[in-house]
Structure 1
Amino acid sequence: MSCFKKGLSLSAALLAGALLLTACGGAPASSASSVPASSVASSEAAEQPEEPAMKYTQTPTVPTETYKEKADFADFLSKAEPGLVIPGLAENLIPQGMDQCDETGILYISGYYTTDGKSSAILAVDTATGELTAEYILLNAGGTPFDGHVGGVAVSEDILYVSGQKQNGLYTICAIPLKDLPAEGSHEVKLEQTIPVPVSPSFLSCSHGYLWVGNFYHPGADYPLSDGMKYTTASADGEDYGCYIMGYDLSKGSLSVADGDDYAQPDVVLVGPNKIQGVVAGEDDTVTLSQSYGRKNNASLLRYSLALGETLDTMLTVQGRDVPGYILDSKRLKESVTAMPMTEALADAKDGSIYVLFESGAIHYANGLFRTDHVWKIKF
């Protein structure tokens, strides 16, 4: 853009000079300098590539909000309020991951299609206006459609992380520099940088200075343990937990895989119950989890007391080495709020509240119960 502006200034200067010479009785330096200004502007405008039209909209998909009079949700509705309309629903996108850029206030929402070979997408919404501003159609490094589940999105100071697919038998997350994501318009984005992680990256979050990467564990529905964490951990609830949330301290720099390792080694691990879809670690020494499964089953927001760095609950083995661990069970649980079905990602807002994403508004789940097509915001 800056190069085009400089070129336009030079053309204008030459034209002005030619006109001045003509006015003084002199001849123009060349025939090119005597081209009318309108022709110059038209020529340069024609050289600009036409930007593709936006594919996605914020068209509502839930005509009747049936959850309002449901007693089960009274606590949630007293603490939370609906906000922006989730983009992409009317275009059959199924929302999954979400996180906010602290600097710009842009909320990034990822989604996928049930059709193989159709590109997943990340949509950018300005939280100040609630309006969709940009869309990023995801491609593999070779340019083919990336059709992964994109279960999680996490935004650090300069990188957007999104759940990747298995490569060479290893789970991955993908890193996209924020500078490569234009603030407006429709764009294709290649996922060129991948980082192996120990667990299936069902959900992601950047919060409390950490990148969190966790797996959805529900063995009764064929969601087994992850390849890099092939064991369960006993909880105070009498259940064996298999949800492991890897915590990477971002103050140590960008994620990388050390020589001899298969995955990026976490600095801390949180152990959670079954059916977890999202996480936020708060500055107030809390961890909040989104727990849901099924289009007709109520969801829960689980809030735990945890100050990172306090006395450990356990040590967990990752790649043959001990890693500090905390167990999110009834001993730490401070609050449980029942929400409408199909809560997905959580993201911390600037005012201390938490954004809650639902996938129930997707057309794919049109027969679900108590659907909503909004991102909600809850204050505990």
Structure 2
Amino acid sequence: MSVWDEVVGQQPTVEVLTRAVQSARTDGAAMTHAWLFTGPPGSGRSIAARAFAAALLCQENEAGCGRCHACHTVLAGSHADVTTLRTEGVIINRQQALDLISVAQRSPSVGRWRVIVVEDADRLTEHSGNALLKAIEEPTARTVWLLCAPSADDVLVTIRSRCRHVGLRTPPPEAVAALLVERDGVDPQMAVFAARAAQSHIGMARRLATDEQSRIRRREVLQVPLRLRSVGEAVLHAAQLLDTAKAEAEDATTERDARERTDLLRALGADPDARTQPLHVRAQLKTLADNQKRRATRFVRDMIDRSLLDLLSLYRDVLVVHADPAAELVNAEMRPDVERLAQRLSPAQAVQCMDAIRDARERIGANVAPLLALEAMAVRLRLPA
């Protein structure tokens, strides 16, 4: 057992990080105070960062034994010396950055290092990034910053220039499937399907393998290109894509939102069943509701982006069928549909459809209203007469 067990298909990265941990216990030559983990969605950036934190704080004379109390608490997210910022909004604001700086200035309380993990560091704005810059550039002794982002280009240049870059790759589907079987007890056949359909995105593969509703919604998304024949149908199906993302977000957040509200009322000593609440309780509830709304907005956009990646995989399969009809497909269970779509679209037309999806992703990332971006995309995805 090791803290690196869930860092799937990233052996070169594990070797680099293991050497850094060993160096941190001796001469420190391979260790640095700030690291930037990059890789495509689902590659396990935050998993690798958390494993690295556990290895640094491991109480045994190993680079992450996975057995000691420190390893267990870091991986569980409860270690006193590890602070993780998980972005639940569209951006990381300046106040969140200042809160991290305050934590980073403290000495470790129980371990060798104080570790600050910033997931989605690409969501740092110019203001919040500048606030963090000096803390990352001149850290307190025994403080380590671990930043995660899809690519180095997504992070402010002033930040990334102060970090040591560690690049992760997309793990092979076989490795992801093996993880699902071993860690989550998923049926091997289902694990293979989920890993392939998720294109090795570890989190999404687990969701597909364990949640039938997610599989149904993905199937509905992939049926959209087969039905686009007119502008009216394009507009209708764009709205359906957005509704699907909202339904996915609601399923994922409704129970959590209710639990957070109940926990807050209990912490404030308020009656959950009261028709009206005291002024100070209402203020806290409003703050919570605002945070939940921002989280829901981000989750909807993430689900839309996941749907668009699924659509890209469909047109990728169309190109594969044109090149080699016998080749393995991402959406192997939809081969008859893919072959029919390949009969309607030339390779050049399939590439144009992929360009339309890419443009929609970029527009939504630039804060264009999702429905408008999806409608523009769907009109361009219409099947030729």
- What TM-score bracket applies, with the shorter chain setting the length? under 0.3
**Rg (Cα) greater in structure:** 1
TM-score (structure 2 length as normaliser): 0.25
TM-score (structure 1 length as normaliser): 0.26
